[in-house]
Amino acid sequence: MKQTRIILLLALLIPFTGKLAAQSPAQATFVKAGRLLDPRTGNVLSPAAVLIEGGKIKEVGSPAQVQGHGPTGVKVIDLGHATLLPGLIDGHTHLLLDVIVPPEAEIARHSNGIFAPSQLLAIAESPTKRVLLGAQLAREDLESGFTTVRNLGHSGVDGDAALRDAINAGRIPGPRILASGRKIMALGSYVQNLNPALAEAILQQEFLPIDSPDRARQAVRQNVFYNVDVIKVTVGGDISVPELTAVVEEAHRQHLKVAVHAIDTPSIQTAIDAGADSIEHGDQVTDEQLKQMHDKGIFFDLTPTFAGSFFMKMNELSIVMSPAFRARNTEADARDQKHYADLVPRVLKSGVKFAAGSDMSWFYPGKTRGQNSVATIVNLRDAGMSPLDVIRAITTNAAEMLGWQDRIGRIEPGKFADLVAVAGDPIADITELERIRFVMKDGQVVRNDLASP
């Protein structure tokens, strides 16, 4: 009996021994590079080293200083003359949507014809299929240097939350995701004239329509049920200040920030008056509204998706364009470029808090989602933003907009070990961000094209 009890005791202890071994501290990592850029100050440390333990940054300094404080048996990653930066943050993306531009004739047949047909196809897809698509696009974002993203809608009922949880559990690779669940909106914001017998079911897959303050509060609670990280609202002159205020109050009561899609001047004013945390797009913002945003601490989230002739280039690779359609697109590209060349300097001059997001939801032939998103944000340079401010917009500033400045956005002790590296100097050439050579998330190497042979 005594021998039997000993055997049973050992059998019970073996699983716990395995768990203790699995929970033992991971090997420390020592990353050294030619340069390290601090986006907040603009200072460069050269040469530089980062000591990482338990997925977080423990120390930053010169290689001799940091290595002297590190434990024995540390893993060394030598990136040569490369420049280290914090992991990039896309403040506005749509990982479960990959819109293929429809043919010209199909665009002409529908209200919102460029976007709505593909949006309806996405809603009709199996939620499982959409999440698997999101997993692919998330991996592509991570490989291009985005270690954190804020996903703002078009993900089904809980697709982005499910994708976030799978990534956090280590089941699939991807960036850290702030999920918003379904967009809150007024009826008719994206799709109109649906089959009356199916319209409500179709809309419920993607949106939470509101028409009163009470419905607004309920919509926030419905998203909270799926454990979202942020609330997204679309305002287009169809949501009142009391309705949006109810969204903001309920979200803040739940300790969630509110991001408001607002394009035209009246919609932007509604977002300001309701106390939104960030205004997305903001194309027609006035100087007076920028002052109000500055005074209230509201973030301006720039989304230069159509700057830099993005839409024309995408169309040329996707569809056959008639001469008239091509001419209209050329004119639209010129207007978009001129608009951003006016908007960006005004935003910078106002002193308003700003960040940037790709607003990426488009399939671009020949590019991964991550490559497409980085190239879009880099277009801010052509609109008059300095390379350092572009980098701030997707690192330190974006971290503050998300409310995660204590976790991400800079390479400093206590923050997640999210690092990227480029071969050259991104301040001298911001397009270096389109050629990320090294990506680390949580202290784990995602890619390293700088490793010595």
For 186-195, the pLDDT digits (tens) are: 987 777 788 8
Q: Supply the CATH number for residue 342's domain.
A: 3.20.20.140
392-397 mean pLDDT: 98
- Do 67 and 98 have their domain in common? no
Domain annotation covers residue 407 = no
Do 117 and 52 fall within a single domain?
no
Q: What is the pLDDT of residue 21?
A: 37
- Dig out the tokens for 274 from the structure: 């309701």
Range of weakest confidence among 84-98, 102-116, 144-158, 228-242: 102-116
Collapsing DSSP states into helix, strand and coil, what is residue 96?
coil
Mean pLDDT estimate for the chain: 92
How much is the average pLDDT of 33-48?
98
Dihedral sign, Cα of residue 107, residue 112, residue 118, residue 123: negative
pLDDT band at 5 (very low <50, low <70, confident <90, very high): very low
Q: Omega of the bond prior to 266 within 30 degrees of 0, cis?
A: no
Residues 77 and 118 in one domain: no
Distance between CA atoms of 138 and 176, rounded to whole angstroms? 9
- Sequence-ordered list of residues with C-beta below 8 angstroms from that of 401, at least 6 positions apart, any chain: 91, 277, 278, 299, 301, 353, 355
Q: Report the C-alpha gap between 268 and 108 in whole angstroms.
A: 29
CA 93/CA 231 separation, integer angstroms: 14
Q: Which band of pLDDT confidence, cut at 50, 70 and 90, is reported for residue 39?
A: very high
Structure tokens at 323: 């001469």
pLDDT for residue 22: 39
Sign of CA dihedral 442, 445, 449, 453: positive
What is the DSSP-derived secondary structure letter of residue 97? -
pLDDT of 195 reads 84
DSSP 406: T
Cβ distance 162 to 155 under 8 Å? no
d(CA 409, CA 50): 15
Q: Determine, yes or no, domain membership for 388.
A: yes
Distance, in Å, from the CA atom of 439 to the CA atom of 431, rounded to the nearest integer, reads 17
Cα angle 193-194-200, degrees, rounded to a multiple of 5: 125
Alpha helix (H) residue ranges in 351-394: 369-378, 387-393
Per the document, the length of the chain is 453
User: Is the residue at 4 inside a domain?
Assistant: no
Domain that holds residue 28: 24-86+413-448
At residue 217's C-alpha, the angle toward residues 232 and 189, to 5°, is: 45
432 within some domain:
yes
Contact 209, 254 (CB under 8 A): no
Does the pLDDT at position 372 exceed 70?
yes
Asked if 169 and 265 sit in the same domain, the reply is yes
pLDDT of residue 193: 80
What does the pLDDT read at residue 121? 83
Asked if 239 and 183 sit in the same domain, the reply is: yes
Beta bridge partners of 36: 45, 84
CATH of the domain at 80: 2.30.40.10
